[in-house]
Structure 1
Amino acid sequence: MKARIKFLRQHLALNQREFSARINISQPTLALMEKGQRVVRDIHVAQICSEFNINEKWLRTGEGEMFLSVEVFSLDEQAKKSNLTELEIAIMRGYMNLDLDVREKLMNELEAIFKPIHNEDIATFEDNGDSAIEAEMDIANDRKDNEDN
């Protein structure tokens, strides 16, 4: 592991003082680790991996990639995994194109619908006057009532 710590430090173009400061150890401690004269404790491994986004398996054994890959969210990949319909995808894309203030209002309405009140499974709307979603829900309920009659 001593060689990998030194290799990493050099790869990052940091001197011992800079590297050790970033992982909260002294420069002499780092120098001893790189020479194999000081045991690298789990806390040091955790600090190195966290600070520099390093694959712990690589640091400990040399296996795998040195850096952890950064997870990237892909709407298209998530849509495939969730078997979303074209309409669901269009709704999500449309949502992302809304102005921030419109999204905030919409999220408040959705939270009111889906957030259980007093540990019940039924949600209620807050009375805020001219809610478009509330109006749409009323229309949908009226249609259902008419179909049932």
Structure 2
Amino acid sequence: MNKRLKSLRKSLGLNQKEMGYRLKLSQTHISSLENGARELTDRIISDICRVFNVNKNWLHTGEGDMFVQSATFSLDEYAQKNQLTELELDIIKSYMDLNKEVRQSILNTAQQIFGKHAETTATVDEIDVEIAHYRSELETEKKTRTLSASQRRETS
């Protein structure tokens, strides 16, 4: 297991100090683990697997892939499943090709547009509620006038 730790570190392009920093261990501790002076504890094994996405079986036995294969996402499969048009797919791909600053600018603009829309919707909803209250007041007032008029007729 010690040799595999060193192999992992080298494949990640890290020196002992950098790996130690990521695992919250000293450079000396990493060195001792790699040369067999110290044994890998369950906690360290767990941390290595979690931090570097390492296949625990590979770390213990050397069998299988070094890294856990993460679930992959295929935009083409997603597009087909959701029946996206070629234009929609091209728009998504073009967006992903933009640099981070431009994408953030687009997101900010979209947020402003939809934020304004949300405010408008809230205002329209508020107006609808106020109209319903006003209608109710008018109907009550009309009923009261009708009752008053009929009461006056009865007393005359």
CA distance in 1, matches of 2:75, 2:58: 31
What CA deviation, in whole Å up to 9, does each residue of 1:1-57 have, x standing for no partner? 000000111111211111111111111111111111101001111111111111111
CA distance in 1, matches of 2:74, 2:13: 33
Amino acid at match of 1:55: N
Matched, 1:25 2:25: yes
Which residue is 2:35 aligned to?
35
Q: How does the TM-score come out when normalised to structure 1?
A: 0.51
CA distance in 2, matches of 1:74, 1:7: 31
Amino acid at match of 1:56: K
Instruction: Report which of the two has the higher share of helix.
Output: 2
Per-residue deviation, 1:74 = 5.2
Change (3 A) 1:35 1:74: same
Change (3 A) 1:48 1:77: same
Which residue is 1:8 aligned to?
8
CA distance in 2, matches of 1:41, 1:77: 42
Which residue is 1:67 aligned to?
67
Which residue is 1:51 aligned to?
51
Which consecutive unaligned segments of at least 5 residues does structure 2 have? 83-106, 108-123, 126-156
Which consecutive unaligned segments of at least 5 residues does structure 1 have? 79-83, 85-99, 101-127, 130-149
Query: Identical aligned pairs, as a percentage?
Result: 44
CA distance in 1, matches of 2:34, 2:14: 14
CA distance in 2, matches of 1:4, 1:14: 14
Moved over 2 A (4+): 72-78
RMSD: 3.9
Question: When the two structures are aligned, how many residues end up with a matched partner?
Answer: 113
Q: How does the TM-score come out when normalised to structure 2?
A: 0.49
CA distance in 2, matches of 1:75, 1:35: 44
Per-residue deviation, 1:77 = 6.8
Per-residue deviation, 1:72 = 2.3
